[in-house]
Structure 1
Amino acid sequence: MKLVYAFDAYCGWSHGFSATLREVVSRHPELPVEVVSGGLFTGARRVPIRSFGYVAGANARIAELTGAEFGEPYERLIADGSFVMDSEAAARGLAALRAAAPDRAADLAVALQRAFYVDGLSLSEAATHRKVAEEAGLDGDAVAAAFEGPEARAAAEADFRRTASLGVEGFPTLLAVDGEDRVTALARGRADADDIDRRLAGLRTTCALTP
């Protein structure tokens, strides 16, 4: 069995899930974690943030319910409403970071969201991914170059297909995947680590009883 975490780096609720994700990963070192990006803001939804009038209210609600931080640099970045959230670029960034340290994908996903929501850095800029990589002790120049390369673009598209194939309809979604055909949702949206532990325990009991 493994965990699959489907998120979008530009999704505020995914940012709010970061603490839960870290706690679950810490509690379950025996479970591999696959992290895949969603395409929340692609195509016709890749527009200035002012087009999404609910952002400020949603962020306040996320902070209230999860304790997630939304930094002043982020508030300045989006203040005039012209910033464009591009999930394809964010997914390329995750792909580049993930390739550099596959076993640290969950922490790198959290760091990527922190770069945007706390530090106010655009995930469309190679410099952002260089900074995230360097702060994680990785080769920043290599990650920045990979972000611009064809492999990251292909990986981002593969991630979007992967989330669709798993039936993910919103972010964040945490799944338990056992083999190719047993997929169980552990969390959709907000959840805490204790909730997820109970669902995992129930799943393991069920699996143990299944021939």
Structure 2
Amino acid sequence: MKLVYIFDAYCGWSHGFSGTLHEVTSRHPALPVEVVSGGLFVGPRRVPIREFGYVQGANAKIAELTGAEFGDSYEQLFADGSFVMDSEAAARGVAALRQTAPDRAAELATALQYAFYVDGLSLSDPATYRTVAKAAGLDAEAILAAFAAPRTRAAAEADFRRSAALGVTGFPTLLAIDGDSVTPLAYGHATADEVDVRLAAVAA
């Protein structure tokens, strides 16, 4: 059995789920975790952040419910309103980090969200991946090369297809997959204890 975490690096609820994800993976270190980018802001949704007026209210609710931090630099980015969240670029970044350190995919996905939601860094900017790589003790040049490589763009597109094939309609979604059996463990928000109860039922 493995866990499959479908998220979007530009999704506030995914950012809010980071603490639960960390706790679940800490409690179950032997369970492999596959991280899949969902593609929230692609195509016609790739517009300036000011177009998403509901985001500030949603972020306040996320912070209240989960304790997730939304930093001053992010708030300034939102106040300016011109920033464009590009989930395809973010998915390439996730793929580049995942290729370099596959066993740390969940940790690195969380680090990317922190870079945006706390530090206000663009996930389209290669410099952000240099920062994340160095903080994680990874080879920054290898990750930057992977971020720009055609195969990484293909990996991002494959992630979007996998998310759709799994029937995911919102982020984050945490699944337990055992052979052909797919069991939802969390959708949008759940505590680590709630996930554990559902995981125990799957393993029973």
- Category of TM-score, reference length = shorter chain: over 0.9
Matched residue of 1:79: which SS?
helix
Question: Structure 2: which 5+ runs fail to align?
Answer: none
Deviation at 1:95, TM superposition (A): 0.4
TM-score of the aligned structures, taking structure 2 as reference length? 0.99
Query: Does residue 198 of structure 1 match 2:197?
Result: yes
Matched residue of 2:80: which SS?
coil
Deviation at 1:145, TM superposition (A): 1.8
Q: For 1:123, give the aligned amino acid.
A: L
Runs of 4+ in 1 over 6 A off after TM superposition: none
Question: Structure 1: which 5+ runs fail to align?
Answer: 206-211
Equivalent residue, structure 2, for 1:119 = 119
TM-score of the aligned structures, taking structure 1 as reference length? 0.95
Equivalent residue, structure 2, for 1:208 = none
1:41-80 to 2 correspondence within 5 Å?
Answer: 41-80=41-80
Deviation at 1:43, TM superposition (A): 0.1
Give, in whole Å, the separation in 2 of the partners of 1:163 and 1:107: 20
Q: Deviations over 1:112-152 (max 9, x none)?
A: 00000001000000000111011100011111121111011
Equivalent residue, structure 1, for 2:181 = 182
Q: Deviations over 1:159-209 (max 9, x none)?
A: 001111111110000000001x2100000011000000000111111xxxx
Equivalent residue, structure 1, for 2:153 = 153
Equivalent residue, structure 2, for 1:86 = 86
Give, in whole Å, the separation in 1 of the partners of 2:39 and 2:162: 11
Give, in whole Å, the separation in 2 of the partners of 1:168 and 1:11: 14
Give, in whole Å, the separation in 1 of the partners of 2:143 and 2:203: 37
Q: Which deviates more, 101-110 or 71-80?
A: 71-80
Give, in whole Å, the separation in 1 of the partners of 2:94 and 2:64: 27
Equivalent residue, structure 2, for 1:97 = 97
Larger Cα-atom Rg: 1
Q: For 1:197, give the aligned amino acid.
A: D
Aligned length: 204
Equivalent residue, structure 1, for 2:109 = 109
Give, in whole Å, the separation in 2 of the partners of 1:19 and 1:28: 14
Deviation at 1:85, TM superposition (A): 0.3
Equivalent residue, structure 2, for 1:4 = 4
Give, in whole Å, the separation in 1 of the partners of 2:6 and 2:130: 23
Give, in whole Å, the separation in 2 of the partners of 1:30 and 1:145: 30
1:26-45 to 2 correspondence within 5 Å?
Answer: 26-45=26-45
